[in-house]
Structures are given as structure tokens and as C-alpha cells.
């Protein structure tokens, strides 16, 4: 019986290690070959920082990076403002709780379907594709994440705090600004980070809604791959991996902190 338990633990550990290896070995190879002297794909030919220098001197990469940052930041700001406004409306009317399920639609339907629908809407309204349509489409995606996060936190707030504030003469708006909003701050930061990561890394919505006048970083990487695989792509991917990992770590730490406090 003891031998069977040891074998079961060993097999479970081996299974977990294989899963992690399957997930992370490609990322390790990507980062490793971003320092390779030879063109990709090729065997290891020595260490170099040449591809990172090429990346640093590329104006097109930084222009695409700037566009992605502008779109992602705008989507975060608008999504959070809409979420805050909806939470304020929740204090005035309890009927809005029945509409919360509508915000889960973005999480259920395929992103391709959402992209085609937004593209059809822009064409119907004769809206030219560009950075404004990118911001709108990424905001639609971001609201589907921000509102459920804020609403779950809003429902967990002790109602006695709200009732005490109202009994002491504060208006609903004052109660929201001085009681509810500070309690929603961790969820606001988490939702903002999540929307920024999703918007910055998004490809499908950008591909359908960018048009020919705007190019995000994901679209620029696609154009680089079409013209031939270059180690510059590996260097760029390694940097994006580092930035995304930092944002994910911040998001996870805030999530744990909000659960504890």
C-alpha cells in the first residue's frame, strides 16, 4: 500500500512537471534564441545583443508600441469610468442587477464574432477605421471584464456602512465617493491592469478594426512574420513577455490582497 502511494505521488508530480514543461519550454527557447548570432531558425551560434540593438533603433516598432499603449490606456480609462458610473447607478436603482448578466456576453462569445459585429456596425454607421474604432472595440471587450469585477466587490461591501452614511445625512453620491469608491480601489486597479493586458496583447479585434491607418504592435509582429522570421521578433517577444509577466504579477498580488482585506 505504501509503495502504491509513493508511485501515485511520483506519477502526479511527473504529470505536473510535464505540463509546466509543455507550457514554458517554448518561452525559454524564444528568449534564448533572441541572443543567438545566427538567423532564426538556426542552431546556436554564439551570444549577441545585436537583435536588441536592431529593435531599439527600429522606429516602426516604437510607433506600433506607442499606438498599442494609447489604445490600451484609453480602453482602460473608458472601461473604468463606465464601470464606476454603473456602480453609482446600482446605488440609486436595484433593477440594474438584472442587467449584469449582459456583461458576461463578451466572455462567452468568440472574439471573432465580436470583431465581425463591431466591423459591421462601423460600416453601417460609416465610421472610418482607425485608432478611434480600435479604442471603441477594445473598450467593449474591457467593459465585459471590468463591470463583473467591480460588481462582485460592490456586492461584498457591508451594507451597514452605506446605511450609516445615509443616516448621518450624506447623499447617495457623497456616500459613493467617500465610502464605496475607496473600497472599490483594489478592484479598479485589478480591472485596469487586466484590461490593459488584454488590449495590449489583442490581435483579433485589432486585425478587424484597425484599418490601414493604425497599426498596433501585434499587427506589426504579423507583418514582420510575413516578410520572414527575424530574430528581432524574438527580441521583441522577449521584452513583451517580461512586461506582461510584471503586469500579471501585479494583478495577482492585488487579487490576493483584495481577498485578504
Q: What is the pLDDT of residues 108-154, one digit of tens each?
A: 888 888 889 999 999 898 889 889 999 999 999 899 889 888 888 88
Q: How many CB atoms lie within 10 A of CB 243?
A: 13
Domain boundaries, the chain: 58-260
**Region at 169 (left for phi over 0; alpha for psi -120 to 50; beta for the rest):** left
DSSP letter at 176 equals I
Contact status, residue 221 vs residue 233, Cβ threshold 8 Å? yes
pLDDT of residue 80: 93
pTM, whole model, 2 decimals?
0.79
* Closest by Cα among 18, 10, 159, 190 to 94: 159
- Residue 229 — very low, low, confident or very high, per pLDDT cuts 50/70/90? low
Please report, to the nearest 10 degrees, the dihedral formed by the alpha carbons of residues 207, 212, 216, 220 taken in order.
90
The class (CATH top level) of 58-260 is mainly alpha
Amino acid at each position: 500500500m505504501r509503495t502504491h502511494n509513493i508511485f501515485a505521488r511520483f506519477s502526479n508530480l511527473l504529470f505536473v512537471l510535464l505540463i509546466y514543461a509543455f507550457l514554458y519550454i517554448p518561452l525559454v527557447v524564444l528568449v534564448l534564441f533572441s541572443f543567438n548570432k545566427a538567423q532564426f531558425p538556426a542552431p546556436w551560434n554564439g551570444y549577441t545583443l545585436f537583435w536588441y540593438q536592431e529593435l531599439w533603433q527600429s522606429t516602426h516598432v516604437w510607433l506600433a508600441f506607442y499606438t498599442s499603449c494609447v489604445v490600451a490606456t484609453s480602453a482602460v480609462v473608458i472601461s473604468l469610468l463606465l464601470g464606476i458610473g454603473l456602480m453609482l447607478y446600482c446605488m440609486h436603482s436595484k433593477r440594474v442587477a438584472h442587467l449584469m448578466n449582459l456583461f458576461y456576453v463578451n466572455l462567452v462569445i468568440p472574439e471573432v464574432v465580436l470583431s465581425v459585429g463591431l466591423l459591421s456596425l462601423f460600416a453601417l454607421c460609416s465610421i472610418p477605421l482607425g485608432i478611434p474604432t480600435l479604442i471603441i472595440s477594445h473598450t467593449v471587450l474591457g467593459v465585459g471584464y471590468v463591470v463583473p469585477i467591480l460588481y462582485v466587490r460592490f456586492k461584498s461591501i457591508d451594507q451597514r456602512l452605506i446605511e450609516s452614511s445615509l443616516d448621518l445625512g450624506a447623499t447617495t453620491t457623497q456616500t459613493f465617493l467617500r465610502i464605496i469608491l475607496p473600497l472599490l480601489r483594489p478592484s479598479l486597479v485589478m480591472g485596469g491592469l487586466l484590461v490593459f493586458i488584454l488590449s495590449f496583447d489583442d490581435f483579433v479585434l485589432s486585425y478587424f478594426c484597425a484599418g490601414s491607418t493604425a497599426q498596433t504592435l501585434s499587427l506589426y509582429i504579423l507583418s514582420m512574420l510575413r516578410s520572414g522570421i527575424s530574430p528581432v521578433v524574438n527580441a521583441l517577444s522577449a521584452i513583451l513577455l517580461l512586461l506582461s509577466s510584471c503586469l500579471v504579477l501585479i494583478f495577482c498580488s492585488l487579487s490576493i490582497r483584495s481577498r485578504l482585506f
